[in-house]
Structure 1
């Protein structure tokens, strides 16, 4: 007689509660919160709600007044300024994490920048200085964070950065950030391959257009928003909480069989011709 199969899941299953169980006790760094509309804030809010302990940074003294209250509300146990363009600040941050936590389970990289004149012009017209700065802040800083996180992720870990559909397809007015984000997505694949033997998984998350402070720098951004709403199968924009839930899933153990991928959270927009 065949033994009766017993479903190990309860009849009513709460996926958010399941994620929360996986994140209790996890310690992670979130870089890129500008205000409570930031993608980074949506990620931090969900990660904290699911039980993770956070380290939060802000760019400079001017940004502190906008970010510190949110960091405190999130119960961040490590917080402070960190500008990736200033030599030593990134290294000092990871030294502090090593000193106070002794380990790191995940990092969320949600920063990008290009000088306005280079971002608003044609790619072929961009300056070397603008291109180099965009690559430094938006791409190289993620590679460097992964390098610094590697010795702290002794039991494995997860590193996540933020990309956009314009990395894969030409998006009108996305301009210089297209090649920069393409380099970022390629870096994710290579870093995933290099750090995989240490149990470190690496992802790019690609949200649809979101009305954030960072996106306001893109010329005619409202046109991108309108296009997304009209063309996406969901016919709406995603929100930062939806992005945060996907990030929490990737950080949690349920995604253990995944790495090196770009994960779209855009209501299906990237599938449309």
Structure 2
């Protein structure tokens, strides 16, 4: 049975990591809004705001706030706003990753201590910080999603240090699913195939990675942010109320070959 178009009606969610209209988080936000959810959308800084605001307006976001996940005061402010406006949170999407360019484009063995620490803090520990803030707002249960990539499981050329970082992210999500499961808070990971987003374009030789995915995936095509959004909407809905601790691949089957 297919879900109704309003199967998220009455739910409220926070989407962190929208970079622009073509980002994975934007695809998720549109799918949530189309399914009836009310949203809070964040942007990293004033420079990013002009790229994120059209997405927030398109989905009718009830909250639109700055959030640099390295800033504890901004994090507190976002969740305080949610608490005052809605008094609860039904789902959270964490779609954030960062690594300094020199460390991202170099060999893993050459990654600096500072670059590794920063990549882990922004890409992984930020999920823990957001989950801790979300927990008391999910008194009746909820869902937390984060975003990974196949390079967490297999060595992908030029993905470099982000492979170990994403592996840590997926493991963290599994441990959080156990920590929070007793409160009926589900934690899952989305793992899309390579997408032509601004964030992905920072990976060296990204065009070759795209071509390989298209050639080797059983469906012989790339996934889309709309398809990732559809999976995200399903996972935060009651249709997936028994799904937790999972990594959902949306990659045309590329991860099996």
Counterpart of 2:192?
A: 207
Selected match of 1:25 from 2, 6, 10: 10
Deviation at 1:256, TM superposition (A): 1.1
CA distance in 2, matches of 1:193, 1:87: 25
Question: Retained in 2: the 8 A contact 1:19–1:249?
Answer: no
**Which range is displaced more, 20-29 or 134-143?**
20-29
CA distance in 2, matches of 1:255, 1:67: 29
CA distance in 2, matches of 1:166, 1:190: 20
Q: Which runs of 5+ in 1 are unaligned?
A: 1-12
Selected match of 1:247 from 215, 225, 232: 232
Does 2:86 correspond to 1:101? yes
CA distance in 1, matches of 2:36, 2:72: 33
Query: After the TM superposition, which segments of 4 or more aligned residues of structure 1 sit over 3 Å from their partners?
Result: none
Selected match of 1:220 from 191, 201, 205: 205
Counterpart of 2:128?
A: 143
Count of aligned residue pairs for this structure pair: 257
Selected match of 1:53 from 38, 45, 56: 38
CA distance in 1, matches of 2:39, 2:150: 28
Q: TM-score, normalised by structure 1?
A: 0.92
Question: Retained in 1: the 8 A contact 2:21–2:54?
Answer: no
Bigger Cα Rg:
1
Question: Retained in 2: the 8 A contact 1:209–1:224?
Answer: yes
CA distance in 1, matches of 2:58, 2:233: 19
Q: State the Cα RMSD in Å.
A: 0.9
Deviation at 1:129, TM superposition (A): 1.1
Deviation at 1:143, TM superposition (A): 1.1
Q: Which runs of 5+ in 2 are unaligned?
A: none
CA distance in 1, matches of 2:244, 2:4: 18
Tell me: CA distance 1:209–1:70, structure 2 relative to 1, closer, same or farther (3 Å): same
CA distance in 2, matches of 1:257, 1:232: 28
Alignment of 1:1-273 (within 5 A): 15=2, 18-272=3-257
Question: Retained in 2: the 8 A contact 1:19–1:248?
Answer: no
CA distance in 2, matches of 1:133, 1:35: 23
